[in-house]
Structures are given as structure tokens and as C-alpha cells.
Amino acid sequence: MTCRWAAAILIFAGVMVAAAPVRAEETRYELAEITFVVPDERSRPGPLLAVSELRVGSVYTGEEELEAALANGRQLLLNRRVFDGIEVSWEALEEDRNDESAARGEVPPAATPVAATFVVDDGWTVLPIPFYRYNSNSGHNPLGVLYWDNIAGTLTDFGMSFGYYSRNWVDPFGWDVRLDWNKIRWLRREWNFGIDQEYRTRERASPAGDVEFAYTEYRSRVSMSTGFRLTDRLRYSVSPRMDADYGYDTTVTNADERTPDSRVGLGFAHSIGAGRIDWHGNLRTGRSWNVKNSFSVDVRDADIAAGVGAGFRAFRLIGSRVNPGFRARVAHFFDGDVLGQGSGVRGVADNRVFGQTGLFLQTEVGLLALDIPRVLDLLVNPFFDAALPRKEGEPLTGDDVSAGTGFDFVLFPDFIRGFQGRLSIGTDLRDPGAANVEFFIVETLSF
């Protein structure tokens, strides 16, 4: 009896398996050809292919996976902020791409060869022009810039600038000369090179805004950086550098502070992180984080300067016009207080934020107030920023908390994607009033 029941169960199971619907395998697609169509012939196919991270011969399972890979390649190109637009399409080819495997006696799964086509609309990428900036921290700032963000169609960036800063147009608060050449592809990764020479003023102010200590210095720096993937998600970057800080001159001595010693340093900064921020027109989505460390040794007396930090940022797109964003950063400097950290708190004077350890938070809601196709976009960004710096050897107090609120007005002209002009108006929430408004006009050139 037992044997009869066992046989019946086996027969029933066989019938059920035979009757079950068989799931069809998804079609496999091989990316056999990648073509870039550039009507004005500025951008070159080689750099476009490298930045897209697509590879001829890659195989994808199903149309969804193929189209996701092509969409990702398009987004990576758009993130360079040098194109007016990119359209991508694909079509199946009839030829068999498995001949080579068959000749080796292998029987590979069938893969339909496809050809992908990217139609690239180049933007204007050369900008030699003088600018005028104003910052309530450092005063007037006439500036000359030569900016080229797609050199000979290679998708590398070149920037050269020189500027002067003065609160009264006579006495210099600072000046700088800067040269950058970024995103150079070599040895299957990108490299950045920079040279900076600057004169700057560093200040420490009381909670009431009175300057208690200030000094000037010269700084020279030569640096380079590159990065590579540790895994599919994690990315590592490193930046060796040589810098010199010298020519110190104390200008205000109302506090118990000591002017730093001159130093000539050799060192590097490196970080590990993950995530990506994508541009959709002039709005952003995505999130990213990193943990970093900097290290420098004075070549004369082996004095070490070091710091550690971490950062996180995230952006969302709600509909097509609302773009909230959040940034958080924490930093610690092992060699003491660092002045002028208020640039991370809009609405608060830079000289009122300083310390050895700090937590900085920035929140904003980007509102696309004006969108004129092929002309410009205007974003209005209400913001709220805060900082909690701790001074070396001192406990935290209520005076250490800084907070500012206000509005950024950001103009994106469509004739050059990498450019934006910004007017920022914010007030210090610890003591709001006209005397505590931070105001600046600035352009950003993505280098």
C-alpha cells in the first residue's frame, strides 16, 4: 500500500511540473557598436566613450538592463556640465557575434548584437572674461578668468584666474593667482593638477563681531590628485602636494593668540567614499559620502600638521521645480584652532566661526523660479545653516553655536553649462539685524 501511494505522489508531481508554465529566458544583448554623433565636431569620440564608462562587448540581460546602462552612460556625460543635451538610441544588428567562441569549440548563450548611438549637442566651453565679485567678509574682488572646460574636445578642464580683494579698494585683504588643469585621462584614470599663489588675511572675531586677532600670510601650493575604484561602490582618491606658508604679519593682537610659524610642507590628502550626485538640467539628485585625512610634514623641522573629516550630502527632485538639499561635514585639526571657517555657514561672518573641531550643517530648498529654454534658469534657494565649532582646550558654550538663514539667487545661463552666478543674502540668527547680514556676489566656473 505504501508503494502505491508513493508511486501516485510521484506521478502527480510529474504532471504538475509538466503543466507548470515555463518562464522564457530574457534576450541577452551584446553592445557591439557605440557611435557618437557630434554635429559641430567639437567633442571627440574617444573621451566621450571613456567618460561614459561603456565598453564594446559588454553583455546585458534584457532590454531594461541594456537601457539602464545606456542611460547611466548618458548621465555621466551630462554630469560634466559641458553639453546642451544628449540623446541616446539603440538598434539590433543582424550579424552573429559568436563566431569566435564557436571556433574555439564553445557554445555561448545567444546574444543579440546591438548598436548604440549618442547624439551630442555641445555647449559653449570657452570663457575669457573679467568679473566683479563682492563679499562682505573680504570686500571688493575684481577678477580675471580664462576658463576652457572641454579642451579640443577632450573633456578636460583648464582654468586660470587672478583676483584682488579689498574692503576699501586700497588696502589688500588678499589676492590670488591660480592655474588648474583637471580631468586629464591617463593610465585609465583621471588626474588633476593645480598651482596656487595667494596672499590672505585670517581673522578671529568675538560673538559680537569685533576682530580680536588677525594676521596676513603668503601661501604657495603645487598639487595633483587622482582616484580609482576599490569596489563597484567605493572610490579612493589621493592628492599629494607641496605647500609653503610664510611672510606672516600680525595686524590685530587684542586676544591671547600667537601668529603661526612659517612652514614648508610635503604631504597629501586622501579620502574614501561612495555615491554620486547627478545633474538634471540645473537641478540635482543623489547622495554621496566620504571620509578623509590630510597630512603634512615641515621639511625643515619635521613638524606634523594633520586633520581628519567626513562629509555627507543629498539632493532630491520633487516634480520638476523643487530641489531640496542637505549637507553635513565634521572636521578635526590635530594642530589647534583653524580660523575663518564661517564659509560653511551662510549668513554668518567667516571670522566669527573658528575652532579645532567642528560640525557644519547646510539645508536648502532649490526652487526653479524661472526657466527660459536656451536662455537661462533662475533658482531661488531659501537656506538654513548651522555650525558647532569647539575651540582647543575649551568646553562648548552657547556662544560657539552659529546659525544663519537667508536666500541664494542662482542664475544659470544656458550658453555655458558650467557657469553660474550667485547672489546670497543671509543674517546671523544669534543677533539678527542689518549689521549682521552676510552678502556676496560670486560666479562659479566649476574648477
Q: What's the pLDDT score for residue 433? A: 67
* Per-residue pLDDT tens over the stretch 199-254: 999 999 987 788 999 999 999 999 999 999 999 899 999 999 999 999 999 999 98
Domain boundaries, the chain: 26-122, 165-406
Q: Which three cell numbers stand for residue 19?
A: 503543466
Separation of alpha carbons 319 and 369, rounded Å: 13
Determine the Cα–Cα distance for residues 32 and 373; give it in Å rounded to an integer: 36
Per-residue pLDDT reduced to its tens digit, 372-417:
988 899 999 999 999 999 999 888 888 789 999 999 999 998 877 7
* Tens-digit pLDDT profile for residues 419-443: 888 999 999 998 776 667 888 888 7
Q: Which residues pair with 216 in a beta bridge?
A: 201, 249
Q: Which CATH number fits domain 26-122: 3.30.930.10, 3.90.580.10, 3.40.50.300, 3.10.20.310?
A: 3.10.20.310
What is the model's pLDDT at position 22? 40
Contact assessment for residue 135 and residue 442, using Cβ atoms and an 8 Å cutoff: yes
Using pLDDT thresholds of 50, 70 and 90, give the confidence band for residue 145: confident
> Do 223 and 208 form a contact (C-beta atoms < 8 A)?
no
* Structure confidence at residue 105 (pLDDT): 56
Decide if 26-122 and 165-406 have a common fold: no
The tens digit of pLDDT for each residue in 375-385 reads 899 999 999 99
What is the end-to-end Cα distance of the chain in Å, rounded? Answer: 84
DSSP, collapsed to helix, strand or coil, labels residue 51 as helix
| pLDDT at position 56 | 95
Of residues 170, 127, 207, 223, the one with CA closest to residue 416: 127
**What is the Cα 194 distance to its own chain's centre?**
17
CATH code: domain 165-406 is 2.40.160.50
Tell me the percentage of the chain whose pLDDT exceeds 90: 67
Render pLDDT for 321-336 as a digit per residue (tens, 0 to 9): 999 999 999 999 998 8
Q: What is the pLDDT of residue 102?
A: 53
Cβ–Cβ under 8 Å, residues 386 and 345:
yes
Query: Average pLDDT in the 277-292 region?
Result: 96
What is each CA distance from 34 to 50, 90, 191, 276, in whole angstroms? 12, 9, 25, 24
| pLDDT reading at 10 higher than 80 | no
Does the pLDDT value for residue 130 go beyond 60? yes
Mean pLDDT of the chain: 88
Residues 335-340: what's their mean pLDDT? 90
Quickly count: other Cβ atoms within 10 Å of residue 117's Cβ.
15
